[in-house]
Amino acid sequence: MRHCRYGLRLTLVLGAGMVLGACTGSGWTDRERMIISLSDSVMFVTTLPQDSVQLRTPSIDVGPRELQSDELKTLMAKMLRTVTDPSQDGVGIAAPQVGINRRIIWVQRLDKEDEPFECYVNIHIDSLYGGTRRGPEGCLSVPGYRGMVTRSNNVIISYSDLESGNTVKEEIEGYTAVIFQHECDHLDGILYVDRADTVYINQAWMEELKQFDYTRPDWW
Ligand code: ZN
């Protein structure tokens, strides 16, 4: 998900993940090992339309034996460098956006002090609730566009603890919950433009920003 540069955190980028044998996960493929080891610390970001196959392919879990692998550690570090690079300025990124169809995302926890980026492996959204909110989103994989998307206010996520392998559940609310929904959509091959009721290109987006009421208490 991309940061908005108007003093506002309009971010969007995300994904959602799907299964395909994802219950048990599997080991790294030769192709995945090559992408992880050979890519620069700031990875190539897949974009529409040229990388549509990669972006539309559902992602699978990381296997239990790979949770502490060097490949996962390297991939996580490079994804973080990529989403925080000034050229991207994102608040979230999903593994398919760097060419890896695994259920791995980084999310900037805007709901926590100091707003740290945190990584979630084998993440799934268990439930959506608490009503909905409509707001602008953008995506590192759909450069130059923004769109208005309706999302749930609250999510319950589950993911793998990297040390124990145990499943951890967590409840997220507010705008950070929107980031999780956007990123987890990526893991299911879904892009925000699929959900947007309106999509804008640059100038049109600027006009929309002027009209959007960011003072609404339900926005953040
Ligand atoms: Zn995105």
pLDDT, one tens digit per residue, over 132-187 is 999 999 999 998 888 999 999 999 999 999 999 999 999 999 999 999 999 999 99
Min mean pLDDT across 11-15, 114-118, 147-151, 155-159 is at: 11-15
d(CA 191, CA 67): 27
> Looking at the DSSP assignment, which residues form a beta bridge with residue 93?
106
Neighbouring residues of 71: CB distance < 8 A, sequence distance ≥ 6? 28, 32, 33, 36, 37
Is 107 strand, coil or helix?
A: strand
What was the pLDDT predicted at 121? 98
| Active-site entry in 118, 171, 183, 207 | 183
Distances (CA, A) of 45 to 66, 82, 139, 210: 23, 8, 11, 30
Mean per-residue pLDDT, 118-142? 96
What values do phi and psi take at 47, rounded to 5? Answer: -135, 160
What sign has the CA pseudo-torsion 179, 184, 186, 189?
negative
The yes-or-no verdict on residue 18 having pLDDT over 90 is no
Ligand 1 centroid to Cα of residue 142, in Å, is 7
Reply yes or no on whether 183 is catalytic: yes
DSSP 179: H
**Percentage of the chain lying above the pLDDT 90 cut:** 73
Better-scored residue on pLDDT, 32 or 217: 32
Mean pLDDT on 185-198: 96
CA of 56 to the centre of ligand 1 (A): 12
pLDDT at position 200, please?
A: 84
How many angstroms separate the alpha carbon of residue 66 from the centre of ligand 1? Answer: 25
Q: Does the structure show a pLDDT above 50 at 17?
A: no
Q: What pLDDT, on a 0 to 100 scale, did the predictor assign at position 176?
A: 97
Cis peptide before 49 (omega within 30 of 0): yes
Expressed in angstroms and rounded, the spacing between residue 186 Cα and the centre of ligand 1 is: 6
Residue of 115, 110, 51, 105 whose CA lies nearest to 79: 105
pLDDT of residue 10: 35
Which has more confidence, 120 or 22?
Answer: 120
Q: Give the C-alpha separation, 125 to 17, whole Å.
A: 9
95 CA → ligand 1 middle, Å? 10
Counting residues of the chain whose pLDDT is more than 70, the rounded percentage is: 81
- The confidence band for 7, taking pLDDT boundaries of 50, 70 and 90, is very low
Q: Which domains does the chain have, with CATH numbers?
A: 8-209 (3.90.45.10)
Calculate how far, in angstroms, residue 55's C-alpha sits from the geometric centre of ligand 1: 10
Give me the residues near ligand 1 (ion), CB cutoff below 5 Å: 13-14, 139
Tell me, what's the pLDDT at 202? 57
Task: Measure the CA–CA gap between 159 and 161, rounded to whole angstroms.
Answer: 7
User: Between residues 144 and 115, which one has the greater pLDDT?
Assistant: 115
DSSP alpha helix (H) spans, 39-191 = 52-56, 70-84, 175-186
